[in-house]
Copies of this chain bind each other. A is one copy, B any other.
Amino acid sequence: MFKCLCGASIILTVRWRLPLFLKRINPQQRNLTTHPLIEHFETYLPFNEEEKKLVEARASLRKIKRRQLILQEGFACKHYAFVVNGCFRMYGVDDKGTEHNLQFAAENEWIADIGSFHSGKPSQLFIEAVEPSVILQIEKKDLYFLYLSIPKLDRIFKVIIENKYVDLQNRVLQNISSTAQQRYLSFLEQYPTLSLRLPNAQIASYLGITPEFLSKIRKDLSER
């Protein structure tokens, strides 16, 4: 039940009300009895009532339109964003103006430019909603406060980022050792639902190839 090292079981309480527009966006997909962030944290370790209140008070809900940016190159990354609903991409732009997708984040995932967030320096990256989305965002001072008042959050975020690190490392290994076709096939395998939600051009950008070449790969694959 828990993603890390704790056997105790949890009793969920009905306390938090999801705004209407959230239900409209995706009415059936989510259990509406708990605050999404608490639900997320409790997949790692249990939280008591006081801790839950601390978290809820410092996370603010925000609705994001398709194509809206929540981080722009040149600005510091001010928030950690937890995706309640929808999907985002984080990308960099090279000198020719071409975008390169570094990461996608859908429901129950975090997205932020971690380096810029902690250093306060201008980011080199963009984060854009690829679907109409809802996030819970936490400001730096609030997250730091939460780390101090709920020490197990250090543990939880350590585990979260360890898992992201492992994924990223596998991606690097793939990038330096496989052909584009192999990378595309493992993307489909690793992110089957994402691959249906995203335009192919976005997937191509993530794989480090042109949309044209992905098109060719898809043709080759379908002809077998």
Q: Which residues of A are interface residues toward B (Cβ below 8 A)?
A: 5, 92, 94, 98, 100-103, 114-115, 118, 144, 147, 151, 154-155, 157-158, 161-162, 164-166, 168-169, 171-173, 175-178, 205-208
Contact = CB atoms under 8 A, between A and B. Distances in A.
24 contacts: A5-B144, A100-B177, A102-B169, A102-B172, A102-B173, A103-B169, A114-B162, A115-B166, A118-B162, A151-B151, A151-B154, A154-B154, A154-B158, A155-B158, A157-B158, A161-B161, A164-B165, A165-B168, A168-B168, A171-B172, A172-B175, A175-B176, A175-B208, A176-B207
A28 B4 CA distance: 42
A176 B208 contact: yes
Contact of A155 (B118, B147, B161, B177): B147
Majority secondary structure of chain A interface residues (helix, strand, loop or mixed): helix
Contact of A98 (B5, B101, B162, B177): B177
B114 A165 contact: yes
Give the top 3 A-B pairs by smallest Cβ distance, nearest first.
A176-B208, A158-B158, A115-B166
A202 to B, nearest CB: 13
A147 B159 CA distance: 12
Nearest to A147: B155
